Amino acid sequence: MNREETRSFAENNNFNYDNITLHGLNELINLLNEQFKIEKIKMTCSRVLKNDFKFDRKGMIEAYIKVNGAYFKKRECISFNKDGFIGFAGWADSGNLSPITNAFCKWVDSF
């Protein structure tokens, strides 16, 4: 799936930030790392730092998952922006995007 199809998939499955917990973000990270292995992409998720996410009593406000590759560190993988826009590795070509969108859709399907 491309980026727009992935966002549409989330929208069609009534996905919203209120459903996301820190535990849920960790599940997404695990799915991403698993999908990178399955698709033989040499990337892994960076360790999530406290300033990479914000929650309030209602749910998640924003979060940023980053990846490391053979020649880069902490490149944005999935961004849950404050305004509700979800970004998927704007730097990635379709080959590197595939495990990211696949993992995200599996994760959304689990809600």
Alpha-carbon distance of 35 to 77, in angstroms, equals 13
pLDDT score at 99: 97
Q: Could you report the per-residue pLDDT of 48-85, keeping only the tens digit for each?
A: 888 899 999 888 999 999 999 999 999 999 999 999 99
**pLDDT tens profile 16-50:** 998 899 899 999 999 999 999 999 999 999 988 88
Calpha distance 89→104 (Å, rounded): 12
CA 39 to chain centroid: 16
pLDDT (tens digit per residue) in 80-100: 999 999 999 999 999 999 999
Whole-number mean pLDDT of the chain?
94
- pTM value is 0.93
Question: At 43, which helix (H) or strand (E)?
Answer: strand 43-45
Tens-place pLDDT, residues 5-19: 999 999 999 999 988
